[in-house]
């Protein structure tokens, strides 16, 4: 599987999203649709982006009882997305129900990749201890959640690039690490607590990087995207 840069389209409408994508000219990047855009526009935004030629990661981070997640995944399977996700915190049973739902919803068609969020990249070890009462170091928690995801039959995890190496050690090189929390060396890190540059993410073994504001908020988004692809993939 080739490395790729996924642009987080954290916009509130399809108009805003298209206006942004037009700035990228003929490029057809892998894009991530999050809750804001999906809740505003519904399945039509997925269809529109697929028709434009983009690969789509639908980032809805499902986290509910297994039966509910199973049924929701059956529906998501019909949208034609390339990647979708759940929270690993929903437990192995929930993740198994999710992959089963996805498979059932796809029938004989190709199945989207299913990955699990380990700990959000905005969460620090201190907040994890204080708010979640998880009294272990971040790397152990992320590796444990990743192994749960692998055992449930998922394709990979969302984690910080700082954890990609450890996840690959524990779950194998073929297990995908999709990593947000990426900033250029000269950027503001905003609300992300654990950040690295695209070049560093490559060095640490990330399979995909998810980049939002460093591209969407750049004065020249096309140049920022190309810089990201070049730093991360060497292309």
Distances (CA, A) of 57 to 39, 115, 130, 144: 15, 10, 31, 24
* CB nearer to ligand C5P: pick between 70 and 118: 118
Of 106 and 199, nearer to ligand C5P (C-beta) is 199
Interface stretch with ligand C5P, choices 39-47, 74-82, 106-114, 209-217 (CB under 6 A) = 209-217
Examine residue 31 and tell whether it contacts ligand C5P (CB under 6 A): no
Which residue stretch of 14-22, 135-143, 199-207, 212-220 sits at the interface with ligand C5P (rule: CB under 6 A)?
Answer: 212-220
Q: Which stretch binds ligand C5P (CB under 6 A): 40-48, 96-104, 139-147, 210-218?
A: 210-218
CA-CA distance, 49 to 212, in Å (whole number)?
A: 17
Residue 26 tokens, joined: 């003929």
Beta-strand runs (E) in the chain: 4-9, 30-33, 56-62, 83-87, 113-117, 156-158, 176-179, 208-211
CB 171 within 8 Å of CB 184: no
Does 177 bind ligand C5P (CB under 6 A)? Our answer is: no
**Which of the residues 183 through 202 are near ligand C5P (CB under 6 A)?**
190, 192
When binding is defined by CB under 6 A, the residue of 8, 115, 138, 209 that contacts ligand C5P is 8
Terminal-residue alpha carbon distance, the chain: 15
Distances from the Cα of 5 to the Cα of 71, 166, 192, 214, angstroms: 30, 21, 18, 12
**Residue among 47, 55, 61, 200 flagged as catalytic:** 61
Q: Applying CB under 6 A, which part among 18-26, 42-50, 113-121, 162-170 lies near ligand C5P?
A: 113-121
Distances (CA, A) of 82 to 62, 65, 77, 96, 110: 16, 24, 9, 19, 9
Q: Which of 146, 158, 167, 209 binds ligand C5P (CB under 6 A)?
A: 158
Q: How far is CA 186 from CA 141, 182, 189, 198, in A?
A: 30, 12, 9, 12
In the chain, the largest separation of any two C-alpha atoms, in whole Å, equals: 48
According to the binding rule CB under 6 A, does residue 87 interact with ligand C5P? no
Note whether 211 binds ligand C5P by CB under 6 A: yes
By the rule CB under 6 A, 10 interacts with ligand C5P: yes
The binder of ligand C5P chosen from 31, 86, 117, 228 (CB under 6 A): 117
> Of 177, 172, 225, nearest to 205 (Cα)?
177
Does 224 bind ligand C5P (CB under 6 A)? Our answer is: no
Is 47 among the catalytic positions?
Answer: no
CB of 109 to ligand C5P, least distance (A): 26
> Which of 150, 153, 146, 195 shows the shortest CA–CA distance to 167?
146
Chain residues in the site for ligand C5P (CB under 6 A)? 8, 10, 34, 117, 120-121, 158, 180-181, 190, 192, 210-214
Active-site residues: which are they? 61
């Amino acid at each position: 599987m080739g490395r790729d840069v996924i642009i987080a389209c954290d916009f509130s409408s399809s108009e805003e999203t298209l206006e942004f994508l037009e700035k990228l000219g003929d490029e057809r990047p892998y894009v991530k649709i999050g809750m804001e855009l999906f809740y505003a526009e519904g399945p039509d935004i997925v269809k529109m982006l697929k028709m434009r030629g983009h690969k789509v990661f639908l980032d809805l981070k499902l986290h509910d009882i297994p039966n509910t997640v199973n049924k929701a995944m059956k529906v998501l399977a019909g949208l034609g997305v390339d990647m979708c996700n759940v929270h690993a915190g929903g437990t192995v049973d929930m993740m198994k129900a999710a992959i089963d739902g996805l498979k059932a919803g796809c029938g004989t068609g190709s199945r989207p990749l299913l990955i699990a969020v380990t700990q959000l990249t905005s969460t620090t070890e201190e907040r994890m201890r204080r708010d979640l009462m998880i009294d272990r170091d971040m790397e152990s928690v992320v590796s444990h959640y990743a192994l749960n995801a692998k055992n449930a039959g998922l394709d990979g995890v969302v984690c910080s690039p700082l954890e990609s190496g450890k996840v690959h050690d524990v779950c194998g090189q073929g297990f995908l690490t999709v990593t947000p929390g990426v900033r250029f060396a000269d950027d503001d890190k905003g609300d992300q607590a654990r950040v690295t540059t695209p070049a560093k993410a490559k060095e640490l073994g990330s399979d995909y990087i998810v980049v939002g504001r460093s591209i969407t908020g750049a004065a020249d988004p096309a140049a920022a995207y190309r810089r990201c692809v070049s730093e991360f993939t060497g292309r």
